[in-house]
Structure 1
Amino acid sequence: MYDIKALYEADNISHAIQLLEEHPEAFIIAGGSDVLIQIREGKRAGAELVSIYGLDELRGVKMEEDGTIRIGSLTSFSHITKDDVIKKYIHVLGEAVDKVGGPQIRNIGTIGGNTCNGVTSADSASTLFAWDAIIELTGPQGVRKVPIQEFYIKAGKVDLRPAEIQTAILIPKESYDGYEGHYIKYAMRNAMDIATLGCSVNVKLTADRQEIEDARIAYGVAGPVPMRAPSAEKAVAGCKVSAESVERFAKEVLKDIRPRDSWRASKAFREHISYVLAKRALTEAIERSGGAVV
């Protein structure tokens, strides 16, 4: 069923990098929920694999001294949803990854694998874009950190250099402190389906909850890679919390998104739901922040 040439198991991060240098054509396998399917379909038949699944140092969520939330790349979706740090500070990410597949996939699938796949429909990706996440990569030249918007290069391709592995996803304190958010996944079914469109919004209100200090919105499947909508973000910064502001925000997203026609949905339909979901997500984020849209 699985045409695999060889499987090498890494003992630690350094060993994983060494194995990738020794076998430059090899693919990294973590949970295997994507790679094994691709092999079974014949897309990567005869592949060499370097397994990093046993590297527990790449699992778990912790708060670093400067307030940065560090999510190990092998952390499963189920772990993220249940983690106390996630629930307290960036619960939207837990809500988003809880929409991935079914329980079996969420137990085995990892956030590192989800982002390294480079697909625009990944439920974690748009949410991480809205959190201004930073991707930590470790390779032969050491550690480098890349803003997630630069990590995604084009559909199915990310900035992962030869013999590099993704080791963590970092959320700086300034990206979540004082913010509330909401993620909406629009799909043809309520479960076990790929997103037709994903929309994630974070908002920070002033102390009196009367003005929008900052807002971020990111989409999945609104373009070839996950993307932010800077026109919408700029349009409401410093504006009063109101229905008019929400409406302006939603209309402005159409200046930045680039959806396409596909068998799942037409371009026109994706533009329509991009507008609708922007309104719903911002309204919910404002209400979660203690504000009221009137």
Structure 2
Amino acid sequence: MKYLFPKSIKEALEYILSEKDSKFIAGGTDLIIQISDGFIIPQVLIDLSQIEKLKKIERTEEGFKIGAAVTLEEIASSKFLPQCLIQGAKSIGSPQIRNLGTIGGNICNASPCGDILAPIIVLEGELILISPYGEREVPAKDFFIGPKKTILAKNEILTEIVFKKLFLNERNSSFRKIGKRNGQTISQVNVAIWLKKREKSNEIEDIRIAVGSVAPIPLRLEKVEIFLKGRTINQEILKDALKVIDEQIKPISDVRASENYRRMVIGSLFQDAFKEIYK
């Protein structure tokens, strides 16, 4: 197998055009398993981990952006990123996995149970995709089209994820998950919430909610957001919100959990995450 180390995005795009049967790789924590198991057999791997532009977390006048080759550990140990993103990164695998795995790889792997996906959706991340033919910007919620499937074209690279300043307050968001064990677990269900409330009235001024492992793709719960927006929350309203959640999700039974179990625990996770930030 041929292994290439481009030093720029331009060079990586040249490789993908010239090298047939090639795949991009960064941390490789998912891709190497797929290759080892024989699910894919590329002849060429194009390693993006040496491209400096893809390895930066930057504040900007408009907000902040995260390069696709930034590791999960760098996100987990950040001092200024939104809490739901930090919590999601911390929940993934072991320290060894987090030091190898990248945010771009987690997104492009597109597993419905990916613990970065719900956070980037509630934070309204915009994915910057670059190919030899141009650049496009795609909302995170529109990137996923099925389990392990995205709109990413073969010749495209996810270069960075861009977020607005509105979402930068680290105390306005939360993430929760549940799995079969306490550590290094794959999510059976996860949920991320971002909200903004009016301080004097405690009404919810704005809110975003996304869940994973309860549908073929990570799911934005817009009907629940509409139900909660403008309300001052009490336990009765939360109970009614759980009914709206149950109507929106589409869980399946698989080796990790049953449909009924997922429907049961999503309510507890939602309430736990919500109460962390609505005080």
TM-score (norm 2): 0.95
CA distance in 1, matches of 2:156, 2:196: 35
CA distance in 1, matches of 2:43, 2:243: 46
State the shift of 1:233 in Å: 0.7
CA distance in 2, matches of 1:278, 1:46: 41
CA contact (8 A) 1:199 1:220 kept: yes
CA contact (8 A) 1:31 1:109 kept: yes
SS in 2 for 1:123: coil
SS in 1 for 2:278: helix
Q: How does 1:157-236 map to 2 (within 5 A)?
A: 157-176=149-168, 180-208=172-200, 210-236=202-228
1:72 to 60, 67, 71: 67
CA distance in 1, matches of 2:243, 2:113: 22
Is 1:59 matched with 2:47? no
Count of residues paired in the alignment: 279
State the shift of 1:46 in Å: 4.8
CA contact (8 A) 1:28 1:52 kept: yes
User: Relative to structure 1, is the Cα distance of residues 134 and 179 closer, same or farther in structure 2, using a 3 angstrom cutoff?
Assistant: farther
Q: How does 1:3-22 map to 2 (within 5 A)?
A: 5-22=1-18
1:84 to 79, 103, 109: 79
Deviations 1:209-235 (A, max 9, x none): 521112211111011111111111111
CA contact (8 A) 2:55 2:70 kept: yes
User: Relative to structure 1, is the Cα distance of residues 204 and 178 closer, same or farther in structure 2, using a 3 angstrom cutoff?
Assistant: farther
State the shift of 1:176 in Å: 4.4
SS in 1 for 2:200: coil
CA contact (8 A) 2:125 2:161 kept: yes
CA distance in 1, matches of 2:85, 2:201: 23
2:129 maps to which residue?
A: 137
Deviations 1:133-190 (A, max 9, x none): 1111111122211001111111111111131100001111234459712111100101
CA distance in 2, matches of 1:200, 1:80: 16
SS in 2 for 1:16: helix
Tell me the C-alpha RMSD between the 2 structures: 1.5
SS in 2 for 1:126: helix
CA contact (8 A) 1:61 1:72 kept: yes
CA contact (8 A) 2:80 2:170 kept: no
Amino acid at match of 1:45: I
Identity %: 28
Deviations 1:97-152 (A, max 9, x none): 01100000000100000000011111100111111111111111222110011111
Mark the runs of 5 or more structure 2 residues left unpaired by the alignment.
Answer: none
User: Relative to structure 1, is the Cα distance of residues 178 and 110 closer, same or farther in structure 2, using a 3 angstrom cutoff?
Assistant: closer
Deviations 1:5-56 (A, max 9, x none): 3212212100001111112421111011111111111112353211111112
Amino acid at match of 2:67: G
Amino acid at match of 1:26: S
Mark the runs of 5 or more structure 1 residues left unpaired by the alignment.
Answer: 288-294
CA contact (8 A) 1:24 1:163 kept: no
CA distance in 2, matches of 1:220, 1:178: 21
Larger mean CA deviation between 126-135 and 18-27 belongs to 18-27
TM-score (norm 1): 0.91
CA distance in 2, matches of 1:210, 1:236: 12
CA contact (8 A) 1:249 1:278 kept: no
